[in-house]
Structure 1
Amino acid sequence: MSRHSATAIGLIAVLLWALLALFTIGTDPVPPFQLNAMTFTLGGTIGLLWVAATNGWSRLRRVPLRVYLFGTLGLFGYHALYFSALRLAPPAEASLIAYLWPLFIVLFSGLLPGERLGLYHVLGALIAFAGAALLIAPDGNGFTGGVGLILAGLCALTWSSYSVLSRTAGAIPTESVAVFCVLTALLSVPLHLMLEVTQWPQDTTGWGAVLALGIGPVGLAFYVWDIGVKAGDIQLLGVASYAAPLLSTLILVLVGVASTSLTLLTAAALISGGAGLAAYGSALRQRNAPR
């Protein structure tokens, strides 16, 4: 698979994650860890069906145990930290800190063999983060919820580290993500039982939202993201990830949950400009690469 194709596949994850907020709203009143268990069960089942259809069981048996541990900690750790951060800190502030992960991906990628971090990638990431910050920043009353914000920072470090370190495991089959999802679902069950009261979707819309989450943002997204970060342009993927909160907000506007504003238009310009600058940096690097 070419680098360009892998990058394009990875970008599908960004589009799917843009639907995360809409589908999550539809699942109310299901609590977070119960929702995590339900949706990752669906995502893992999709992956296992793919493994069965392609007769990939032998490939899974060759995957080292440490890789399964690493992948499960990545998926489960990110969501456990994220949900805990939103419980202990104001959601907007925690989301802003958690959304440092694309910037960290861009910065950490410079440490990978064969990768070189360019000025355009760094500037693009910073500009795009400014756009994302406009969408989810607090209202000017200052940051509160210290422990929650620390957890949000750890959340950003967890997902960025997982994504970048996945690059070093390029020979590991993407089918292994199915096992990560199943184990993440299993680990979410005891957390749900200890911390939450079980509540089920109240109507067919709620069940449909759970199904959509499991198939898309908490299912297929992790498989295509795995392909992208292992074989694609990881700097460009990192900056392009800032399109997720922008697209998510636009979708909420279209369905009437949110309203358009100057802030939204400014954020759109910053995120698009930052992603464009990073793409230019990637194109420039490929043009100047030795033949």
Structure 2
Amino acid sequence: MQRFTTYLMVITAAVFWGANFNLAVPVVAEMHPFVAGATRYLLAAAVMLMIMCWRRERIPLRYARQYLLLGVVGVFGFNLLFFLGMQTTSAVNGALIMALNPLLTSIVAYVLLSDRPSSRQLLAYPVGFAGVGVVVLGGGAALHAAIGDVYIFGASLAWAFYNVLLRKHMPSDVSGIASTAAIMSAGALALTAVAVLAGKPFIVPSVHAGSALLVMTLGGGVLAYLFWNVGVAKLGAAQAAIFLNLVPVASMLIAVFEGHPPNHAQWLGGLLVIGAVLFASAGFAGKSSVPSAS
């Protein structure tokens, strides 16, 4: 039952993150990416801090450096590149590029933790990257990548580093709520500092964009980060990252309902990326030993 609950948490987080790509479109149409990211995580951090105080928990200062590192990489780095990317790329493109994250996570895990990739992963790397190439280039003769796609790839790389660093540096003697509040607060302060230094005005968005930002904040921010941190702690970075395959699926389904179905290049590239990730991750479910931070 505990394993099922953990799986449900990471699935829910992935679905929320898939919806984020669609929700970000009206947000960046009205708000500068720096301001959108800062507003989102100032609100999310405030909610998490209130929950933490209600539970009478506190953030231990002895882990300040770990929280700062995780906040800068997983909140600041990812969201800055994410909102910049969503200015010029489509929701489906962004979600499909993000689907490469499990393979990027395994590469980062090898670099930082000397966690050697399996033979399946080595075979999957070129297929996955080829799939992203098809999505980004559109499958046509004109080889041109939008700057938004480059930003989203950078965001996916930042999230890969976050996955691995979370497993390595997340305190095991602090609750997930307190740790998530600390990580979000660090990232929110960094995002706010960049927005202020860049001279970007904080504005009140329309009801449409404001509602989308609120859903991104509470669903794709508070709940998703909390669920994901618990999932990584219970399952490990590599196994939890498998569930990120649901991110593009959720985004593509939402795009269909919005009247923007994926094109042929997106379908083909998506199949290559998701197929490569599923092939590389085969066998994880059969492992009997799953590290836990609790």
2: CA distance, partners of 1:268 / 1:97: 9
Residues 124, 239 of structure 1: 8 Å contact kept: no
> Aligned residue for 1:166?
166
**How far apart are residue 216 of structure 1 and its match?**
1.3
Aligned length: 279
1:58-207 to structure 2, matched below 5 A, reads 60-61=59-60, 63-74=62-73, 75-83=75-83, 91=89, 100-110=100-110, 117-123=117-123, 127=127, 130-138=130-138, 139-143=140-144, 149=150, 155-170=155-170, 171=172, 172-174=174-176, 175-193=178-196, 194-202=198-206, 204-207=207-210
* TM-score calculated relative to the size of structure 1: 0.77
Is 1:211 matched with 2:189?
Answer: no
Query: What secondary structure is seen at the aligned counterpart in 2 of 1:142?
Result: coil
> Aligned residue for 1:18?
18
| 1:6–1:37 Cα change, 3 Å | same
| 1:242–1:141 Cα change, 3 Å | farther
| 1:132–1:219 Cα change, 3 Å | farther
Is 1:245 matched with 2:248?
Answer: yes
Residues 236, 282 of structure 1: 8 Å contact kept: yes
| 1:97–1:277 Cα change, 3 Å | closer
Matched to 1:36, the amino acid is G
Residues 44, 222 of structure 2: 8 Å contact kept: yes
Residues 168, 230 of structure 1: 8 Å contact kept: no
2: CA distance, partners of 1:275 / 1:215: 28
Is 1:282 matched with 2:284?
Answer: yes
* TM-score calculated relative to the size of structure 2: 0.76
2: CA distance, partners of 1:144 / 1:124: 22
Contiguous gaps of at least 5 residues in structure 1:
none
Matched to 1:14, the amino acid is A
Q: Percent identity?
A: 21
| 1:266–1:80 Cα change, 3 Å | closer
> Aligned residue for 2:292?
none
| 1:128–1:237 Cα change, 3 Å | farther
> Aligned residue for 2:43?
42
Contiguous gaps of at least 5 residues in structure 2:
290-294
| 1:236–1:133 Cα change, 3 Å | farther
**How far apart are residue 164 of structure 1 and its match?**
0.5
Is 1:273 matched with 2:272?
Answer: no
Residues 16, 221 of structure 1: 8 Å contact kept: yes
**How far apart are residue 82 of structure 1 and its match?**
4.3
Query: What secondary structure is seen at the aligned counterpart in 2 of 1:56?
Result: coil
Residues 98, 153 of structure 2: 8 Å contact kept: yes
Residues 132, 246 of structure 1: 8 Å contact kept: no
2: CA distance, partners of 1:133 / 1:243: 20
Encode CA deviations 1:10-62: one digit per residue, 9 max, x unaligned. 232211110012211232312211111221122212312321232222xx226
